[in-house]
Amino acid sequence: MLSRRNPQLNSHGELIHLLSIEGLPQAVLNQILDTAGSFLSVNDREVKKVPLLRGKSVFNLFFENSTRTRTTFEIAAKRLSADVINLDIARSSAAKGESLLDTIANLSAMHADMFVVRHSESGAPYLIAQHCAPHVHVVNAGDGRHAHPTQGLLDMYTIRHYKQDFTKLTVAIVGDIVHSRVARSDIHALTTLGVPEIRAVGPKTLVPSDIREMGVRVCHDMKEGISGADVIIMLRLQNERMSGAMLPSAGEFFKNYGLTPEKLAFAKPDAIVMHPGPINRGVEIDSAVADGTHSVILPQVTFGIAVRMAVMSIIAGNNA
Amino acid sequence: MKLLIKNGRIVDPASGRDERADLAIAAGRIVAIGKVSADFHASRTIDASGLVVAPGLVDLAARLREPGHEHEGMLESEMAAAVAGGVTSLVCPPDTDPVLDEPGLVQMLKFRARNLNLAHVYPLGALTRNLAGEVLTEMAELTEAGCVGFSQAEVGLKDTLVLHRALQYAATFGYTTWLRPNDAWLGNGVAAKGALATRMGLTGVPVIAETIALATLFELMRDTGARVHLCRLSSAAGVELVRRAKAEGLPVSCDVSINNLHLTDVDIGYFNAAMRVTPPLRQQRDRDAIRAGLADGTIDALVSDHTPVDEDAKTLPFAEAEPGATGLELLLSLALKWGSENGQSLGQTLAKITNAPVGVLGDSLGSLAASAGKIVEGGVADLCLFDPEARWIVRSGNLRSQGKHTPFGGYEVPGRVRCTLVAGAVAYEARE
């Protein structure tokens, strides 16, 4: 029987795994963001290291390829002085037919302290967290369409950095919501932090109507969706969605929902534009916007390392 | 072997009988109810004080996993599970490996089952060869071998032309086609479409996957005159369409599983793969409509949809986990739970798992049609003796089935089977 208690918190309500932002109290989110702030300066030092995870082994388990996310986790772990082992499972054990839990059992026997997991199936990190040794911590680095909590947190860090107060903001999330774990994590984080207006913008094939029940307003018209927005989060459109039954073409998507300087003019004058990367220039975002004064896409990457350092150091300090 | 069951409360939904009476059995048949003659000398007497003596349960959907999936269940273990659950007759779908699409395979299964001398097994034959949806099976040959109907199991039939012809052909000979209403294109998700699936990032099966399939089937039935049994309804809209089809007089019957009768998608919790079942668990309003539909007769029968799944196939991420749950040993208790929560009498409740499913099977039962699922003098003595007051906690460890995965682990449920008789022989007896 699975416990009904949120499996990422211990009995004291402390974070032991980071699996999803859903169900995390505002205080835990603020603790992570505050801790990230203190790590930001480490990244500017000449010796970019703190000894918080010295002697600990962090395994990057990427069942789905992602060079970028894996690299940022690797940098974050190394700046905390951990030993980092990268395993590209998509091309090793799984290809030989080893089951997910056998892989986990083997790596646990190598005295892993933390697993950073990327998997193509929603919920896979929960299964791992339920089956690994009690001292092992699990960080979800993206599971299916479900969650990408560190991306959600770094987005919150970015918004807080530029806008300070969450409680007066209008945030528009634009594009392929239905397949996006980033959108789901952002929505949970934004609602928890008290953002009064969150909009999900895109065509009906990419924005499921049930998303309303997560506390967002659904807009199928781009102008309506970004009018008066303080923050615009553009989502990456995966290649396989660009033509077929979801969308007729990348060109038609760009015409309707691509963020151009003309469309950006409907937002607040001081609006920021975010994107989880990698960006598709000319598909969801115009180069003039991606490289323009409203864009905070590169600062997001910098903040991402500090946020991942914060997450890893906090969960490593809490016991199951 | 002569058997006397004394002091039991005999509940027979078919006749409406509900009275304390003795029951005499000889040569596998019930020879007397109530007035047992003085010269009846039983070789064994069972004291059924405090127990209900009901017809043996009839389960219209139980996978025995033979042939082909023996690692997930064996005829021995699953038949033992059946009688431990009071089930004396069961219908098994054709999705074995190889598929039940040849008379020899069906005869082998019937032969193996008969030798075990536990429950009666009624296989469904495949509607199309290898369930591939292209070529019809030899339905007459399969019927002769013992098939009671024809089914695509969980494999959707995408080609409407083939489906049309299959129904025409089956209707020619009066065979019943057993189909799960699920559009093959829309019905591919792993959870019910809705707020929960969207939030958890699970692909959702919309209600229209069921209603479109039902609308298609009803049109084909009007055209062909075929009789169809609908397997495992899942939605409120589906129940309403069936209600209207029955009112119109279409020859349709349907069932629902214990899972969809009691659970909703919220029970998935944190990606609990025990809740990965087919059809997927839907929302509260769907469950309410299913519970009401079973009570008012729109839904004819309650089934266990017993599907043993081994550990390796379940300890996977939710979408990759094999769908299915063990159920034979829970059918009676979960029927009683529904009955008591829905204000049904014991007879009304038991009807859904005894004579109503026999009605679905109809003439295909052959000589057993007159007595299966009923308690009648001269009828075959398939009986389930259970303690209606006993409550027990479902634990996967004390199930006989090789399938240990159940969404109901930890539930406290009413009704415990004490003794099961198949053709007058004790097939199961609880050890106390």
Q: Could you read off the pLDDT of A2-19 as tens digits, one per residue? A: 446 789 999 998 999 999
Q: Is B269 in Cβ contact with A127 (below 8 Å)? A: no
pLDDT tens-place string over residues B228-248: 999 999 999 999 999 999 999
Give the tokens for residue A275. 């994107």
Whether residue A1 has pLDDT greater than 70: no
Cβ neighbours of residue A222 under 8 Å, at least 6 residues apart? A174, A201, A256, A257, A263
What is the CB-side half-sphere exposure of residue B29 using CA atoms within 13 A?
9
- Are B195 and A146 inside 8 Å of each other by CB? no
Beta strands in B378-411 (DSSP E): 383-393
Provide mean pLDDT across the span B89-112: 95
At A312 the pLDDT is 98
> What band does B397 get if pLDDT is binned at 50, 70 and 90?
confident
Are A184 and B195 a contacting pair at CB < 8 A? no
**Distances from the Cα of B40 to the Cα of B8, B10, B25, angstroms:** 18, 19, 9
pLDDT for the residue numbered B364: 87
pLDDT in tens, B294-338: 999 999 999 999 999 998 899 999 999 999 999 999 999 999 999
Q: Which of A30-44, A161-175, B2-16, B69-83 has the lowest mean pLDDT?
A: B69-83
| Closest chain A residue to B271, measured at CA | A123
CB of A257 closer than 8 Å to CB of A202: yes
SS (H, E, C) B325-360: ECCCCCHHHHHHHHHHHCCCCHHHHHHCCCHHHHHH
CA separation for the pair A137, A18 (Å, rounded) = 8
What is d(CA B180, CA B214) in angstroms, rounded to the nearest whole number?
A: 9
Q: Do B421 and B379 form a contact (C-beta atoms < 8 A)?
A: no
Instruction: Note whether A2 contacts B317, CB cutoff 8 Å.
Output: no
Contacts of A146 in chain B (CB under 8 A): 200-202
User: b/e for A123-136, b at 16 or more Cβ within 10 A?
Assistant: bbbbbbbbebeeeb
Sign of CA dihedral A209, A212, A216, A218: positive
Crossing angle of helices A149-163 and A181-192, rounded to 10° = 50
Question: What pLDDT score was predicted for residue B363?
Answer: 86
Q: Residues B74-101: what's their mean pLDDT?
A: 96
Does the pLDDT at position A93 exceed 70? no
**Is there a contact between B81 and B400 (Cβ–Cβ < 8 Å)?**
yes
- Does the pLDDT of residue A92 top 70, yes or no? no
When pLDDT is cut at 50, 70 and 90, the band that residue A46 belongs to is confident
pTM score > 0.90 for this model?
yes
- A187 min Cα distance to partner chain B (Å): 10
How far is B191 from B279, CA to CA, in rounded Å?
8
| Interval B382-409 mean pLDDT | 95
* pLDDT at res. B367: 80
Tens digits of residue pLDDT in A99-150? 888 888 888 888 899 999 999 999 999 999 999 888 999 999 999 999 999 9
State the SS3 of A93-122: CHHHCCCHHHHHHHHHHCCCCEEEEEECCC
Closest listed residue to residue A61, CA positions, set A146, A153, A137, A168: A137
A247 min Cα distance to partner chain B (Å): 18
pLDDT tens for each residue of B131-170: 999 999 999 999 999 999 999 999 989 999 999 999 999 9
- Residues on chain A bordering chain B, Cβ-to-Cβ distance under 8 angstroms: 1-2, 4, 6-7, 22, 99-101, 119, 121-124, 126-127, 131, 143-147, 178, 181, 184, 208, 210-211, 213-214
Res B190: pLDDT: 97
Distance CA A288, CA A285 (A): 8
Are the CB atoms for A123 and A2 separated by under 8 Å? no
Which chain A residues are closer than 8 Å to B319 by Cβ?
Answer: 121-123, 144
Q: Is B22 a catalytic residue?
A: no
Choose the mutation target among B198, B202, B405 for the interface with A, i.e. most A CBs under 10 Å. Answer: B198
Mean of all residue pLDDT scores within chain B: 96
Question: Which of A121, A145, A181 is opposite residue B317, by nearest beta carbon?
Answer: A121
Helices (H), chain A: 26-40, 67-79, 100-109, 124-131, 149-163, 181-192, 222-226, 250-257, 261-264, 287-290, 297-316
Interface residue of A101, A127, A235 to substitute, partner B, most B CBs within 10 Å: A127
Provide CB contacts within 8 A for A33, sequence distance 6+: A153, A156, A157, A160, A307, A310
Residue B181 has pLDDT above 70, yes or no: yes
At residue A251, the pLDDT reads: 94
Cβ distance B270 to A7 less than 8 Å, yes or no, reads: yes
| Whether B138 contacts B129, CB under 8 Å | no
Cβ–Cβ below 8 Å for B318 and A122 = yes
Cα–Cα distances in angstroms (integers) from residue A284 to residues A11, A181, A224, A299, in the given order: 43, 17, 17, 19
Is pLDDT of A303 > 80? Answer: yes
Position A91 scores a pLDDT of 64
Out of B267, B305, B312, B363, pick the active-site residue: B305
Q: What is the pLDDT of residue B343?
A: 97
Residues of A whose CB is below 8 A from B195: 210, 213-214
Task: Identify residues of B whose CB sits under 8 angstroms from chain A CBs.
Answer: 193-195, 197-202, 269-273, 312, 315-320, 409-410
- Partners of A101 on chain B (C-beta within 8 Å) are 315
| A27-31 mean pLDDT | 97
Percent of chain A predicted with pLDDT > 90: 80
**Interface mutation vs chain B, best among A1, A2, A117, A206, most B CBs within 10 Å:** A2
Which of B271, B275, B282, B284 to substitute to test the interface with A, most A CBs within 10 Å?
Answer: B271
pLDDT of residue A2: 45
